[in-house]
Chains A and B, each alone.
Chain A
């Protein structure tokens, strides 16, 4: 049982380049989330999804796009990377259980540097 797998683990981009971060979960979770964490700070929600084919904006969505074509996968795209997007990106997933929410399961993160 792998849980939440994020690829790649590390990446260096030049300003203006694009890339896609992949998050895959094998727990049949309905909800999936993308967070970013800047040094010494907490996590900020970028985008989230409550099910296949649906996505929504979080606190800091500008400069990012997402897609969830399959229930198990949640993709985060950067169309034109900027140095301000240098951060550690975490994907999380959880069940949707009416009136009861299990905890998030987080991936190990993708460390992205934009130069």
Chain B
């Protein structure tokens, strides 16, 4: 399974945009890029996913590099409730959709 690399931690101020980067230089052509977040003592929660084009939903935006070797999760206005561990993973529909989770990025939001 292809791996992803994320910074261990990031800080943001409340109501400011946050850009969380992810590198996936060994991504295959069939891998989808997924983002999840995990609040303390909870299971991970799906945020967004994409293949080649940028994606938007009510929670966030996903910007995918043209060569697909990196992506960025964008939270447009961070709130205190966005403080969590964010995971970037790759899912391949040709490989049972299973994934490898790294250690993620711990996002701290300051009031």
User: Contacts A101-B49, A105-B46 given: A44-B101 contact, CB under 8 Å?
Assistant: yes
Chain A contact patch, size range: 20 to 34
Please indicate the chain A residues that have their CB under 8 angstroms from the CB of B43 in the complex.
Answer: 4, 90, 92, 106-109
Note all chain A residues with C-beta closer than 8 A to B49: 101, 103
* Contact, CB under 8 Å: B32 / A101: yes
Interface of B: prevailing SS? loop
With CB as the reference atom, state the residue of chain A lying closest to B49: A103
Asked whether, in the complex, the Cβ of B44 is within 8 Å of the Cβ of A43, the reply is yes
Interface string of A103-115 (1 = CB under 8 A from B): 1111111000000
Complex contacts, A58 vs chain B, CB 8 Å: 98
List residues of chain B with CB within 8 A of the CB of A35.
101
Interface residue SS majority, chain A: strand
Contact (A31, B46) CB under 8 Å given A42-B102, A42-B103, A101-B91? no
- Indicate if B99 sits at the interface (CB-CB under 8 A): yes
A31 touches B96 (CB 8 A): yes
Q: How far is the CB of A35 from chain B (nearest CB, A)?
A: 7
Q: Identify the interface centre among B44, B47, B100: most chain A CB within 10 Å of its CB.
A: B44
Contacts of A50 in B (CB 8 A): 96
Nearest-Cβ distance from residue A100 to partner chain B, whole angstroms: 7
**Interface presence of A69 (CB below 8 A):** no
Closest to A44 in B: B101
User: Which listed residue, B44, B93, B103, touches A106 by the CB 8 Å rule?
Assistant: B44
Binding site for B on A (CB under 8 A): 4, 31, 33, 35, 40-45, 48, 50, 56, 58-59, 90, 92, 94, 96-101, 103-109
